[in-house]
Structure 1
Amino acid sequence: MASIVPVLRRHFRFTKAEVENVLIMILAFSFILGFDDGRDTFNAALWIANFLGCLVIASLSVLIHVCSQKAFGILNGIRTEQQLSWYGIGVGLIIAFVTRGAVQVYLPGSFKAYPISTGRIGRFRHGLNPATIGGVALMGPVANVVAAMFSKFLLFQVFGIEWVWLDRFIMFNFLFALYSMLPLPGQTGLLVFFGSRLWYSFGFGTLLGYVILFELGILSLFGALAIGAIVWMVYYVFFERKVW
C-alpha cells in the first residue's frame, strides 16, 4: 500500500481534453436522466431542481467509472486518456427526445492507453497487450456496480434510509455499467471483448445477473457470480470451443 500511493500521486492526472470530455459526458447524461421529471405538466423551477439532482448522480457515477479505470491502469503500468463517444452521446440524446425520457441510453465512450515505461518493467510482454487493457476497461463498470451495491447496503440495509434519489443513483449506475459493457465501436466494452472473450462473457453475465437479481429484490453476489459462470459456460460450449 505504501508503494501504491506515490505511484498514483505521480501519474494520476487528467489532461485538459479529458476534463472537457468528462464534463460533456456528465452534462449529457444528466440531461438524459432528468429529461422526464415524472410530472404531467412542465414547471421550469421544478425541472431545474430535478436536473441538479441528476447532475450530482451523473457526476459521481462518471467520476467513479473514469477514476477507477485510470487508477487500475496506473497500477498496471498504463496511462489512460478518456475519449468521448460523440455518436454515443448523440444517440442517447435523440432517444431521450423521441421517447420523452422513457428510454435512457448511456454510452460513455472509451479511452486511449499509453504505456508508463517504469510501470511496465519486469512485466510479461513489456508493451501494451489487449488482455491488460481489457482488464483496465472492465474496472469501470465493475466500480459502478460496486458503488451501487455498497450504497444500497450501507444506507438501506445498515441505516434503514429509504430515499428516491438513492434508488435513482443505483439504477443509473446499473444502466451505466451495462451500456458501457456493450461491445460497440468506441466503447470500453469492445476493449474488454478483445482483451478476452471468455472474461467478457463472465463479466457481462455477472453484471447482468446482479442487476436482474437486484430488481427481483435479491441481494446476492454469489448468485450473480453463478449466473456469470453459466453465461461463461454457455458461451464456451456453443461458440469459443468451436472457434478453437
Structure 2
Amino acid sequence: MKFRFSKTEIIHLILSAMLITFLVSFNIKSEVSAVIRIALVSTISLIFAVIIQKLVGLKYGLEAEYRIWAFREYTKPPKSFLRAIEDFFYDYTGILIPLAVFLITNAFWPFLAIASFIIKRPLKIRTGRFPFIKEKEVSAVAFFGVLSYLFVGLILNMFAPSGLIETKIPFLLALYSLIPLPNLPGSKIFFGGRITYIFTLAVTLSLFVLIPLLSVSYSLIISIAFALILAGVYFYGMESGIKNPFSLERPSIEIGWKFLFVMILISLIFLFLYFTNVNIITVISLAIVITTLAIVLYYYLIGTKK
C-alpha cells in the first residue's frame, strides 16, 4: 500500500484547520497576518502529525487515516429522524462539541478536541502474521501523533517570539488529543499502555506550563524528568505487583522510601536549574536539611510502628 491521502481525509483536514483557526482567533483582537499565522500553524501541525501517524501505521502494516473526532466510529444507516440526529452528533463530535463550548463560554474557551484517526484495515498480511489489529500498534500510531504536535510546538518556540498565541496551538492540540474519551488518541494510548499514557500526559502538561517560563531546552529536560518520575511512581505504586508499596511494612518500606528520597533530590536539582540566581551553597544546604528531615520522619514512623 502506497503512502497517500484520501479525499475524505483531505476534507477533514481542511475543516479541522478552519475550525481551529476560527476558535483560536475569534476572541483575539488581531490583525489579518496573525489569523494567517494561526491558520498556517494549525495546518502544519495537523498535516505533520498525520504524516507521522501514517508512516508509523505503515510500519505495523496498518492504514491510518485522519478523521475529525467521532464519538462513535461506525454508525448504521438511520431508521428515523431522531436516529439521524443522534448519528450526526456521533459522527461529527469534534465539530459540534467545540462549537457548543465556544458558544457557552462566549468564545472564551477554544476547546480543540478535534483531531483523531481511524485504522481502515490491515494492509497486505506478511507470512506468519495474523490479520488482527493490536491495541499496542494503534497506541503507537496515536503516541507518535501526539509527539508530532509537541515537536512542532518546540520548533516554533525556538524560533518564534515568545507570547504569540499560535506557538501554543500544537501544545493545545496535544493536550486535547490526550483526553481519554472514546476514539480520541488519548483513549487509544491509554488502552495500549497506561504507563505510556501517564508519561505522555506528564510531558505534554509540563511543556505547556514551562515553555512560557523557561527556555526550550530547560523545559524539555524538566518535563521529561518529571514524566519519568511520575511514570515510575505510577508503575511502582499501581503495576509493580507489590502489595501496599508505600506502607510501613518491610520490605516495601525500604524500596518505597528510598524511591521517595531520590525523587526529592531530583526535584531539588531542577529547582536549582530553574532558580539560577540562587547560590549553590543555599541549594545544597536546603537539600541536606530536607533529606535529613525525611530520614528523621522515616525513623519516627518506624518507631511508631514498633
- Which TM bucket (shorter chain)? 0.7 to 0.9
Query: Which runs of structure 2 are paired with 1:72-91 in the superposition (5 Å)?
Result: 72-85=56-69, 86-91=92-97
Task: Measure the CA separation in 2 of the matches of 1:143 and 1:32.
Answer: 21
Q: Residue deviations 1:22-45, cap 9 Å, x none?
A: 121111111101111237xxxxxx
In 1, the alpha carbon distance for the partners of 2:127 and 2:136 equals 17
Confirm whether residue 64 of structure 1 aligns to residue 48 of structure 2.
yes
Q: Of 144, 148, 155, which aligns to 1:143? A: 148
Matched, 1:185 2:182: yes
With over 3 angstroms needed to count, the CA separation of the structure-2 counterparts of 1:201 and 1:122, relative to structure 1, is: farther
Helix, strand or coil at the partner of 1:117: coil
Q: Of the candidates 106, 109, 112, which is equivalent to residue 118 of structure 2?
A: 112
Cross-structure match for 1:35: 26
CA contact (8 A) 1:144 1:173 kept: yes
Deviations 1:138-188 (A, max 9, x none): 1111011111112322x25xxxxx376xx3332001111111011111201
Q: Which amino acid aligns with 2:108?
A: A
Q: Deviations over 1:63-121 (max 9, x none)?
A: 12222211221123211022222223222122223333321111124222222225x55
Equivalent residue, structure 1, for 2:169: 172
TM-fit CA distance, 1:126: 6.1
Q: Which residue of 1 aligns with 2:226?
A: 227
If the length of structure 2 is used for normalisation, what is the TM-score?
Answer: 0.64
Residue-by-residue CA offset, 1:197-232 (whole Å, 9 max, x unaligned): 111111211222222221322432221111111221
Of structures 1 and 2, the one with the larger relative CO (CA 8 A, separation 6+) is 1
SS of corresponding position for 2:109: coil
Q: Tell me if structure 1 keeps the 8 A contact 2:203–2:224.
A: yes
Residue in 1 aligned with 2:213?
216
Matched position secondary structure for 1:81: strand
Q: Which moved more, 1:72-81 or 1:141-150?
A: 72-81
Whether the 8 Å contact between 2:9 and 2:67 is mirrored in structure 1 is yes
SS class of match (2:38): helix
SS of the residue corresponding to residue 224 of structure 2 reads: helix
CA distance in 2, matches of 1:142, 1:20: 24
| 1:159 match | none
The one-letter amino acid paired with 1:83 is R
1:49 Cα deviation (Å)? 5.6
How far apart, CA to CA, are the structure 1 residues paired with 2:162 and 2:234? 39
Structure 2 spans left out of the alignment, 5+ residues:
70-91, 244-306
Of the three residues 5, 12, 21, the one matched with 1:21 is 12
Higher Rg of the two aligned structures = 2
Distance of 1:122 and 1:11 partners within structure 2: 22
Give me the identity figure in percent: 24
Conserved 8 A contact 2:17-2:46: yes
**What is the count of residue pairs matched by the alignment?**
218
Change (3 A) 1:241 1:163: closer
- Give 3-state SS (helix, strand or coil) of 2:179's partner: coil
